[in-house]
Amino acid sequence: MSGLPGSVVVVADPDSLAREAARRLIGALATSPNENPAVCLSGGATPQALYGLLATEFSRDVPWDRVHWFWGDERMVPPNSPDSNERLATGPMLSRMPVPPASIHPVRTAGLSAEEAASAYSDELGRFRAAHRPAGAAFFDVTLLGMGPDGHTASLFPGKPAIAETARWAVGVPDAGQPPFVPRVTLTRPALASSRLVLFLLAGGGKTATLLRIAGGEDLPAGLVSRETPAVWLIDRAAAGEGTG
């Protein structure tokens, strides 16, 4: 798989993908210039194995007392909903580890419109930045992202206004055009670009056609984001279109 913006690492299978992602995330935390490193978590199915590994096999390698956890996007559902990205990461990982509650920064959805939730999240990011980052420094030490079949990443969908946002760090997405059919909140390209390392995690043959479109230069959201960030595409052999034999 050549032509993707950034570097490309092909691993054997989803298990190797989770392990390689864990090693790289831990490495980035270990070399962070920040007393309070920040990780941006992704929704989707692919990072689930990573979250499980970080909370078990690799748990001693994560400075749980110092890291702050944020989300790249959220669905406007309660935090206990199966569709909640907050729940995807807190259930198998954050709730099991010694993480100070103040270090967990979910997108608050209760009683808010998507725009209101996005505005509150922008404020939260701004407060953290003012307290913990010198002027001009990258906000996130590690940003985890996935990619959908249409090339979306976080909740930046092709052809929707959020992908063109250049000023605000979080915006509402009234209509994702796909399940679950609820509004969302997403970080924007400038927010994702404020990262020391961006890991795209992709597994399975369902990703190959979209990866080839990006490698061919098509302006899909994941491709646009990867051009603006220190991106590493961690993909398994099936996603890379390589046979297993």
Q: Which residues bind ligand 6PG (CB under 6 A)?
A: 42-46, 72-73, 85, 146-148, 152-154
**Of 47, 63, 52, 49, which Cα lies nearest the Cα of 96?**
52
Q: Which amino acid is at 64?
A: W
**Of 202, 126, 115, which Cα lies nearest the Cα of 162?**
115
Considering the complex, what minimum distance in angstroms separates the CB of residue 166 from ligand 6PG? 20
Considering the complex, what minimum distance in angstroms separates the CB of residue 135 from ligand 6PG? 29
Task: Report the residue number, 122 or 155, with the smaller CB distance to ligand 6PG.
Answer: 155
Cα separation, 35 vs 51, in Å, equals 22
Considering the complex, what minimum distance in angstroms separates the CB of residue 154 from ligand 6PG? 5
Instruction: Please classify residue 26 by burial: count the beta carbons closer than 10 Å to its beta carbon, then call 0-12 exposed, 13-18 middle and 19+ buried.
Output: middle
Task: Report the residue number, 105 or 152, with the smaller CB distance to ligand 6PG.
Answer: 152
Task: Report the residue number, 8 or 225, with the smaller CB distance to ligand 6PG.
Answer: 225
Cα separation, 217 vs 58, in Å, equals 37
Considering the complex, what minimum distance in angstroms separates the CB of residue 212 from ligand 6PG? 16
**Of 36, 37, 41, 70, which Cα lies nearest the Cα of 54?**
41
Task: Report the residue number, 8 or 77, with the smaller CB distance to ligand 6PG.
Answer: 77
115 within 8 A of 172, measured Cβ to Cβ: yes
Task: Report the residue number, 55 or 154, with the smaller CB distance to ligand 6PG.
Answer: 154
Helical pair 221-228 and 208-215, crossing angle rounded to 10 deg? 50
Considering the complex, what minimum distance in angstroms separates the CB of residue 87 from ligand 6PG? 11
